[in-house]
Structure 1
Amino acid sequence: MLGKLISYEMKAFGRIMLPLYGALLVLSVILGIGFQTFPQTVLSGRGFAGFGFLTLVFLFVSVCIAIFVMTATLAVTRFWKNLMGHEGYLMFSLPTGIGTIISAKTISVLIWSALSAISGLLSMTVFAMFFIRDLPSNDELLRIIQFVMEGLRNYLPDLIMFLILIAVSLAFFIMRIYASIAIGCQWTSHRLIGSVLAFIGLQILENGIGSILLETGSLSVELSELFWDLTHNCSSIGLQSIFITGLLIGTLIYGAVTYYFIDRRLNLE
């Protein structure tokens, strides 16, 4: 059932996000062709070609912003409408648990966030390809491949940990939003205001807990010594592991809060 729910969420996102990805890729190709064909006119910004290029740059930036905004908006609105509105009657009638529904929505948002980042990198790569005048020879290409492979071999563990840290951080943020919505929707009216206030309250609570932990003498000394050892004697993997562990714990706590308010105190519109 988890796979079916993820597939359903992916299709719902795809109807909006895929056209934006396509528009971004097309604009990157047009910008590359325009810059390669009329470099001086484009750089000066004069004439019809210069004005057209600036317009395309504006559209390119607008689509990039739209992709970011729509990914965040769909993550919130689909959770709100599917679970907190009238559609909740249908969603909760499915033969699956609430935890599975929440997990499916979170995983879908993570996947589409990754696809959004990949689409941005791909479009910039396509644009950069138009600046390559001469293709490298076989020997040069082989040296480039060897250089890249050597870099991956040396920094691959750090890169993997960094990507995991980004994914866990995003999951933590998404789950905080879901918990805020679940808490805010306990209000019989003004649910949006309640959700915003809950989000702010959770952020303040996080800051307060962090301050209390850091102000605890023994814990503060232990953390300082640990950070010193990790940053001066070890690689950054150990430090990233600490942050990942903390974020995972926070994600599970917010997931439990979301589950509790939906399972025990659900108030559909």
Structure 2
Amino acid sequence: MLGKLLKYEIKATSRIFLPIYLALTVFAIINRFMNFNADTFNISQGIALTLYIFILVGMFVVSFVVMIQRFYKNLLSEEGYLMFTLPVNHWAHIVSKSLTSLMWTILSFIAAFISIVIIALQGITLPELFRELSQMWDELYRYLGPSIWHAIIQMIIGFIIGTLCSNMLIYVSIALGHLSNNHKILASVGSFLGIYALGNVLSGTIAVNAIPQFSPSPSALM
């Protein structure tokens, strides 16, 4: 049943994200053929570049807004009564929405990277770009060695865990704020700030206590 929920979430949210990715790619291609030069920069180039930046930033803003909107509308509004009548555990609803949000976040970063590469091809050819990237990789590998793969894997795992934890924090904050009879949005924001601050205090306390406290021996002081 979790698979069906994921399919439903992806289908519902793809109507929002796919047009944004298409618009981002189109404006990246338009900017690709713009001859950006300080001496010849004109209004049309400025408009094209500004629209591209707005779409790029808006893509990540929409990712955040859709994550909140889907959770609140599907589970905490009147539509939630219908969702909870489905023969599926409650946790499956939350997991499906969190995984879908993670998927679109990753795809948004990929779309942003591809669009930047498209614009970067204005000054160099694709083989030259790959050659430059290959040289950068060789330098990194020469400096870090095989440990670079460990670093990449750790960054990927850290990004996934961090994104999922952030999603859960927002979901918990919205759910707690929904318990308030009045000012649900303010209560949700307050819950988020409170949980976030408490988490920082606890993590800081654990980190400090986990560090061994070394005291110099008398012989070391002499």
Give the superposition deviation at 1:12.
1.7
Give the superposition deviation at 1:56.
0.8
Whole-Å Cα distance in 2 between the matches of residues 75 and 135 of structure 1? 38
Whole-Å Cα distance in 2 between the matches of residues 188 and 180 of structure 1? 15
Number of residue equivalences: 209
Does 1:199 find its partner at 2:192? Answer: yes
What RMSD, in angstroms, separates the aligned Cα atoms of the two structures? 2.7
Q: What percent identity do the matched residue pairs reach?
A: 30
Q: 2:67 is matched with which residue?
A: 75
Unaligned runs of 5+ residues in structure 2 are 215-222
Whole-Å Cα distance in 2 between the matches of residues 99 and 80 of structure 1? 15
Q: 2:218 is matched with which residue?
A: none
Whole-Å Cα distance in 2 between the matches of residues 25 and 65 of structure 1? 14
Whole-Å Cα distance in 1 between the matches of residues 126 and 98 of structure 2? 45
Q: 1:228 is matched with which residue?
A: none
Q: 2:6 is matched with which residue?
A: 6
8 Å CA contact 1:45, 1:51 repeated in 2: no
8 Å CA contact 1:45, 1:54 repeated in 2: no
Greater shift after overlay, 67-76 or 199-208? 199-208
| From 23, 27, 47, the counterpart of 1:55 | 47
| From 169, 183, 189, the counterpart of 1:190 | 183
Q: 1:88 is matched with which residue?
A: 80
Does 1:210 find its partner at 2:196? Answer: no
Higher helix residue share: 1
Q: 1:181 is matched with which residue?
A: 174
**Shift in CA distance, 104/57, structure 1 to aligned 2, threshold 3 Å:** same
Amino acid at match of 2:11: K
| Secondary structure of 1:93's aligned partner | coil
User: What is the 5 A alignment of 1:148-167?
Assistant: 151=141, 154=146, 155-167=148-160
Question: What is the CA deviation profile of residues 121-168 of structure 1, one whole-angstrom value per residue up to 9, with x for unaligned ones?
Answer: 0111111223225856xxx96xx49x66x9498322211111110111
**Shift in CA distance, 81/33, structure 1 to aligned 2, threshold 3 Å:** same
Q: 2:211 is matched with which residue?
A: 220
TM-score w.r.t. length of structure 2: 0.84
**Shift in CA distance, 134/93, structure 1 to aligned 2, threshold 3 Å:** closer
Q: 2:114 is matched with which residue?
A: 122
Unaligned runs of 5+ residues in structure 1 are 225-269
